[in-house]
Amino acid sequence: MLNRASPPAIAEPLPLDTPLPIPALDLRRDWLALWLSAGLLWWLLGMPLLPSSKHYHQGLMALFWLPGLVALVRHGPLRRAWGQPMMILLLAFAAWSALSWTWGPPTVPAGELKIFFYILLAANAVLALACLSPVLFWRSLALAGLLAGFCAWLALAYFYGWQGHGWRDRVVGTGLLNHPILAAQVFGALGVVMVGLRQQVPLPATARRLACWLSGAGYLAFLVMSQSKGPWLAAALTVLLIPLWWRDTRAGVGVALFSAAGLFALWMWPDFMMQRGLSFRPELSDLAWRQFLQHPLRGLGFATDYLLVINPTLAFEHAHNVYLHIAIRLGAVGLGLWAAMQVLALWGFWRARATPVARGLCALMCFACLAMLTDGVGPWVKPREEWFCSWMPLFIGMAWLTLQRQARLAAAVPAIAERAAPLAAERPVSGACPAVLVSPKDRQKAFGDHG
In this prediction, residue 405 carries a pLDDT of 86
Confidence of residue 429 (pLDDT cuts 50, 70, 90): very low
CB hemisphere CA count around 12 (13 angstroms): 3
Most confident among 93-97, 236-240, 285-289 (mean pLDDT)? 93-97
Q: Of the given ranges (5-9, 36-40, 51-55, 275-279), which has the lowest mean pLDDT?
A: 5-9
* Neighbour tally for 77: CB within 10 Å: 23
* Residues forming beta bridges with residue 308, ordered by sequence position: 316
Residue of higher predicted confidence among 288 and 112: 288
CB 155 within 8 A of CB 172: yes
In this prediction, residue 377 carries a pLDDT of 82
In this prediction, residue 151 carries a pLDDT of 96
384 has pLDDT over 70: yes
* Neighbour tally for 431: CB within 10 Å: 7
In this prediction, residue 418 carries a pLDDT of 63
Helix, strand, or coil here: 315?
Answer: strand
341 has pLDDT over 60: yes
Model confidence pLDDT, tens digit, residues 64-83:
999 999 999 999 889 999 99
In this prediction, residue 269 carries a pLDDT of 66
In this prediction, residue 421 carries a pLDDT of 58
416 has pLDDT over 70: no
Nearest C-alpha neighbor of 138 from the set 22, 296, 254, 293: 22
CB 176 within 8 A of CB 386: no
Dihedral pair phi/psi, residue 65, rounded to 5°: -75, -40
Confidence of residue 431 (pLDDT cuts 50, 70, 90): very low
Amino acid at residue number 51: P
Distances (CA, A) of 142 to 48, 130, 205, 212, 350: 17, 13, 14, 10, 20
Dihedral pair phi/psi, residue 416, rounded to 5°: -65, -40
In this prediction, residue 8 carries a pLDDT of 37
Residue of higher predicted confidence among 105 and 89: 89
Please enumerate in sequence order all residues whose Cβ is within 8 A of that of 290, keeping only pairs 6 or more positions apart, or say none. Answer: none
**Alpha carbon distance, N-terminus to C-terminus of the chain:** 30
In this prediction, residue 26 carries a pLDDT of 58
Name the pairing type of β-strands 308-311 and 314-316: antiparallel
Measured between alpha carbons, how far is 178 from 119 in angstroms, rounded to an integer? 23
Helices within 197-305 (DSSP H only): 205-225, 229-245, 249-268, 270-274, 281-294
Confidence of residue 362 (pLDDT cuts 50, 70, 90): very high
Model confidence pLDDT, tens digit, residues 295-338:
999 999 888 888 888 888 888 888 889 999 999 999 999 999 99
Dihedral pair phi/psi, residue 314, rounded to 5°: -140, 125
**pLDDT exceeding 70 applies to what percent of the chain?**
80
Measured between alpha carbons, how far is 361 from 149 in angstroms, rounded to an integer? 18
Model confidence pLDDT, tens digit, residues 198-217:
999 989 999 999 999 999 99
In this prediction, residue 442 carries a pLDDT of 52
**What would the DSSP string read from start to end of 146-177?**
HHHHHHHHHHHIIIIIIS---TTSPP--STT-
Model confidence pLDDT, tens digit, residues 207-255:
999 999 999 999 999 999 998 888 989 998 998 898 888 877 666 676 7
Distances (CA, A) of 257 to 198, 229, 243, 396, 413: 21, 20, 14, 30, 47
* Residues forming beta bridges with residue 314, ordered by sequence position: 311
Measured between alpha carbons, how far is 250 from 399 in angstroms, rounded to an integer? 29
283 has pLDDT over 80: yes
Average pLDDT, the chain: 84
**pLDDT exceeding 90 applies to what percent of the chain?**
55
Measured between alpha carbons, how far is 201 from 135 in angstroms, rounded to an integer? 11
